[in-house]
Each structure stands twice: as C-alpha cells, then as structure tokens.
C-alpha cells in the first residue's frame, strides 16, 4: 500500500458500497442498478483507505467505436469519496483500469466527464462528442438532466493506449 490507500479488484461484497458511491455522485455519474453492478463486478476496481472503501471505477468495451479489432474502452463510474480526493486515488483507479484493459489490445480509452482537468492530468485530450455517437444514443439519450447531449456540458475525452500502459 502506497500513499495510504490500496487499489484492488472488487468483490461481490463491495457491490452495495459501489452502488452507494455511484448514487452519491449521481450528478456526475450515470446511474447503475445493484443488479447491473453485481453482473459486472469483475470489471470493477475499488480503493481502500483506513479500512473503508473510498473509491471505485469500472470500464466498458465499445466495439462500435472505430475498429472492433482494437475497440475503444470507456472508463465508467469513477468516484472518490470527498474527504479522500486530491491524494492520487482517482489517478490510481484510472491507471488500474488502463492496466487491465491494455492486455486486451484496445486502441484508446475514452471518458465522458465533468472533470476535464482530472482526465487532462492523465493525458486525456478532448474529442468531439460526434466521435462517441453510439454512447450518446444508448446512454445519454436516457439522461434526465439535459434535453440534448450536444448542449450538455459533459466533455468527451480520449487517451491513446501506450506501450507503457501494459501492466508488468
Ligand atoms: C474526478 C475524481 C475521481 C478525481 O479523484 P481524485 O482522487 O481527487 O484525483 P487525483 O487526486 O488522482 O487527481 C490527480 C490530478 O487530477 C487533477 N485534478 C483532480 N481533481 C481536480 C479538480 N477538482 N480540479 C482540478 N484538477 C483536478 C490534478 O492535476 C490532480 O493532481 P494534483 O492533486 O497533484 O494536482 C473525483 O474528483 C470525483 O470523485 N469526482 C466526482 C465524480 C466524477 O466527476 N467522476 C468522474 C466522472 S467520469
């Protein structure tokens, strides 16, 4: 454990806390059902500090973005508990996701986010929302906060995979 926290793969026992964390950040994150979290628990990472779960992140592979043989991966449900922010936990969660998906050979990683400074610090750059149209039609279309995904302030960002992203 470095920096006073640990990143580990989630277990089914974490599902309720992940649900609570996503719900707590509902203004920034797409809602998730408990059933949906349990079904995809093998894709989640959690951060632990001082004996409690203080962050989570997961991903989805999108064959519909670009070339399916080197599909794009989206970072999803990334959140760190308020009192534990700015300690490198968010960065470590994204790096854990990238480290795992690197083994699958994706071309790039994307995020739709209200935290562009955070993703920018990890080497993500803004891309036009038109590059993630499928996501807009399947995910954002169900949004209850904004009438139009193109005027919603959420920003689409991308980072090309690098050789160094692969975990040893
Ligand atoms: C975005 C979020 C996950 C960042 O988590 P975090 O643990 O605070 O992030 P880190 O400590 O790893 O930050 C890494 C770098 O990102 C940048 N950064 C992080 N938060 C920032 C902020 N609020 N404003 C500006 N830059 C920020 C900084 O460069 C930071 O490095 P520094 O602290 O050395 O300056 C967290 O703020 C959060 O849970 N927000 C609510 C949910 C959300 O918006 N999730 C993203 C949806 S895709």
Every domain of the chain and the residues it spans: 6-162
Global pTM reads: 0.94
Choose between 55 and 65: higher pLDDT. Answer: 55
Atom 7, ligand 1: which residue's CA is nearest? 90
* Bridge partner residues of 149 (DSSP): none
Nearest Cα neighbor of 127 from 157, 152, 151 is 157
Q: How far is CA 143 from the centre of its chain?
A: 18
**Structure confidence by residue, pLDDT tens digits, 111-140:** 999 999 999 999 999 999 888 877 777 777
> What is the architecture, at CATH level 2, of domain 6-162?
3-Layer(aba) Sandwich (3.40)
* DSSP H or E segment with residue 38: helix 34-39
Residue with tokens 């670009």: 66
C-alpha 112 to ligand 1 mean position (Å):
14
C-alpha 51 to ligand 1 mean position (Å):
21
Would the CB of 11 count as within 6 Å of ligand 1? Answer: no
Whether pLDDT at 145 is above 60: yes
Q: Which atom of ligand 1 is closest in space to residue 55's alpha carbon?
A: 39
Atom 4, ligand 1: which residue's CA is nearest? 90
Which pLDDT belongs to residue 167? 59
């Amino acid at each position: 454990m470095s920096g006073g926290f640990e990143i580990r793969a989630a277990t089914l026992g974490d599902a309720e806390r992940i649900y609570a964390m996503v719900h707590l950040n509902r203004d920034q994150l797409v809602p998730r059902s408990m059933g949906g979290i349990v079904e995809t628990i093998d894709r989640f990472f959690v951060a632990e500090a001082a004996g409690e779960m203080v962050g989570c992140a997961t991903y989805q592979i999108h064959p519909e973005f670009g070339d399916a043989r080197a599909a794009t991966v989206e970072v999803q449900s990334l959140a760190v508990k308020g009192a534990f922010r700015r300690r490198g936990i968010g960065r470590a969660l994204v790096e854990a996701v990238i480290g795992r998906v690197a083994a699958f050979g994706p071309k790039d990683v994307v995020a739709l986010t209200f935290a562009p400074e955070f993703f920018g610090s990890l080497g993500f750059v803004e891309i036009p929302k038109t590059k993630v149209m499928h996501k807009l039609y399947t995910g954002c279309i169900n949004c209850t906060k904004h009438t139009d995904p193109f005027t919603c302030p959420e920003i689409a960002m991308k980072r090309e995979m690098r050789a160094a992203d692969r975990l040893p």
